[in-house]
Amino acid sequence: AVSILILFVLSLVIGWLFEHTDTLVVPALVHGLYNAVLFLALYVYLSSGNPF
């Protein structure tokens, strides 16, 4: 349930950015940054010795 809420808020932010910038570049960069943060968090979690 928490992940759906996070994705909903992210989609609102990305939609707002698109409406206010009239370009897909800024929302795409935010989407990429979000993905990079998720992968970094997963890498840190897995490299600390905690298995899934």
pLDDT given at position 50: 75
Residue 21: burial class (beta carbons within 10 Å; 0-12, 13-18, 19+): exposed
pTM: 0.82
4-43 confidence digits (pLDDT tens): 999 999 999 999 999 999 999 999 999 999 999 999 999 9
d(CA 43, CA 23): 31
pLDDT-derived band at 52, boundaries 50, 70, 90: low
pLDDT band at 1 (very low <50, low <70, confident <90, very high): confident
